[in-house]
Structure 1
Amino acid sequence: KIDLSALLEKCSENNICSILVEGGGKVHGSFLEKNLVDEIFYMIGPVIIGDRKGTLAVEREPIKSLKEALFLKNLEVKKLGDSFLFHCFTNEGLNLLNIPLGFL
């Protein structure tokens, strides 16, 4: 298991200010549980794959009520071929949208 804080510290030391996280449910859940996600791209296509032991898109501790769910903001949906791309932000990401980037 990777220490995400150490990973992001190393990125910062090397002037890496943005990373793309692509993985399975455990990877996604780990970043979300530590509030390390600011922007989400999620693709859905017209394919159903059945598997009784299928994996989840996000693995995290069960919530007790809907109030504990992660509510995403500024949703945009684009049709790409037969698929749909959902683009949205977490609260942390929404706050970052208002911070000017000095290096641009």
Structure 2
Amino acid sequence: MHHPPSTIREPPSGISLLWLLKTLGSENVTSLLVEGGGEVNASFLLGGLAHRVVFFYAPKVLGGRDSLRAVAGQGVSGSEQALNLSEVQWRRLEDDWLLTARLQ
């Protein structure tokens, strides 16, 4: 079934993720892949707007004071506030690893 593309216009107050998800839901969008940077990922995760996570791991070490992060934002102050994962699955993809999990 093919649907023509549609445009969603942001409200004058700007876009909030909750507004965006509700609007997409009203358009019968039931699943959304968010492929963002650290700030976008943090907004979805810390806002309680994500149900599952997918991470790719390569056999490389990156780092540095100004390096990019998978999850940025305000963060949490300790492991007791960390987001817990369940239904964790690991899959090997040649030299890389794929982790999928459900957020608790």
Q: Place the TM-score, normalised by the shorter chain, in its bin.
A: 0.7 to 0.9
User: Pick from 9, 12, 18: which aligns with 2:31?
Assistant: 18
d(CA) in 2 for partners of 1:52, 1:65: 20
Q: TM-score, normalised by structure 2?
A: 0.79
Compared with structure 1, are the counterparts of its residues 50 and 76 closer, same or farther at alpha carbon in structure 2 (3 Å cutoff)?
same
User: Where does structure 1 lack aligned partners over 5 or more consecutive residues?
Assistant: 92-104
In the other structure, the counterpart of 2:87 is 74
TM norm structure 1: 0.79
Alignment of 1:46 onto 2:59: yes
- CA positional deviation for 1:10: 1.2
For 1:55 and 1:2, the matched residues in 2 are separated by 24
- Deviation of 1:50 after TM superposition, in Å, equals 4.0
**Equivalent in 64, 67, 78 of residue 77 of structure 2:** 64
RMSD, aligned α-carbons: 1.5
Identity of paired residues, percent? 31
Whichever of the two has the greater Rg, that structure is: 2
The equivalent residue for 2:42 is 29
**Cα distance change of structure 1 residues 3 and 54 upon mapping to structure 2, 3 Å threshold:** same
Segment of structure 1 superposing worse, 12-21 or 63-72: 63-72
In structure 1, the partner of 2:19 is 6
How many residues are aligned here? 91
Structure 2 spans left out of the alignment, 5+ residues:
1-13
How far does the alpha carbon of each residue in 1:36-88 deviate from its partner, in whole angstroms, 9 at most, with x for none?
A: 11011110011233443112110132423211011111111000010000010
The whole-number CA distance in structure 2 between the counterparts of 1:52 and 1:60 is 16
CA distance in 2, matches of 1:50, 1:68: 24
